[in-house]
Amino acid sequence: MSSSLPDIGRVTTSQIGGLKIRLARGGRSDGIPILLTSPWPESIYAFRGICPRSRSLAH
Amino acid sequence: MSRVAPFIVVLSLASGRSATAQTAEPAPFDPVASVVMHPRCMNCHQDDSPRQTDAALRHQPLVVRGKNGHGAPTLPCQTCHQATNTADGFVPGVATWHLAPSSMKWEGLTKRQICEEMKDPARNGGRRTGAQIIEHMKVDPLVLWAWTPGAGRTTPPISHEQFVKALEAWVSAGMPCTETTNSRRSLQ
């Protein structure tokens, strides 16, 4: 198993509504906003196949 | 009625002495064990994956220890576990939520084995003295969480204050790991 993680964008946390929310941001800032909500009970890395494709829409 | 009373007193004394003779004194570690073997503690002193509920069910969603006990890089504990209990307590939390180190695994051990482990710096987080063990149990937020677990979860059978006193008594006694003792000798 590879020790490197797939590229899903910049993974960070943000304080939202009193909760520390883990999220990933990627793509162009002037592109079409696409929001992928929590894949609970999975990791946000469950979107690893979608994130690169969604970047291509962001132009 | 007055003729009966002395007879009753004699019987009471006799039965009292008999009960004392058969009563086993708890070993110093027993009250400590009643806490550390409680699900609120045991569920995170595990091998690869934490447990949930008093039935020690495997954590849902499935999570794993990871390199440092804070979960896999793809799903660290803090993804869901916040600095406090959230979602009306259903998602428990303290700021440092994580599994106990592998060296401090208690699952599958007997009371005596856990006692021995708690005394061993190689398996108790490097605590070399009884005072250090007590301090950990006094202030560690994860330990304290066991008494404020939220969402109707059960708590250890004695209070945190009683737990600390039990630890102090155990340490004062030399941290013995002997099983329950019997008080008959005290009557001889």
pLDDT tens for chain B, 188 residues: list them: 444 444 444 444 444 444 444 567 889 999 999 999 999 999 999 999 999 999 999 999 999 999 999 999 999 999 999 999 999 999 999 999 999 999 999 999 999 999 999 999 999 999 999 999 999 999 999 999 999 999 999 999 999 999 999 999 999 999 999 876 554 433 33
Residues of chain A found within 8 Å of residue B75, distances taken between Cβ atoms: 42-43, 45
Pick the residue of A1, A43, A48, A51 with the most B CBs within 10 A to test the interface with B by mutation.
A43
Among B61, B62, B86, whose Cβ lies nearest the Cβ of A19?
B86
Pick the residue of B60, B70, B78, B79 with the most A CBs within 10 A to test the interface with A by mutation.
B79
Dist. CA B48–CA B43, nearest whole Å: 11
Q: What is the pLDDT of residue B180?
A: 62
| Contact: B74, A5; criterion CB under 8 Å | yes
Dist. CA B170–CA B150, nearest whole Å: 29
Count the Cβ atoms, other than its own, within 10 Å of residue B56: 13
Residue A23 burial by Cβ neighbours in a 10 Å radius (0-12, 13-18, 19+): middle
* Residue B87 region by backbone torsions, left for phi larger than 0, else alpha for psi between -120 and 50, else beta: left
Say if residues B54 and B67 touch (Cβ distance below 8 Å): no
pTM equals: 0.82
Q: What is the pLDDT of residue B184?
A: 41
By C-alpha distance, the chain B residue nearest A4 is B73
The mean predicted confidence, pLDDT, of chain A is: 85
By C-alpha distance, the chain A residue nearest B80 is A21
| Contact: B79, A43; criterion CB under 8 Å | yes
Q: What is the pLDDT of residue B188?
A: 30
| Contact: B75, A19; criterion CB under 8 Å | no
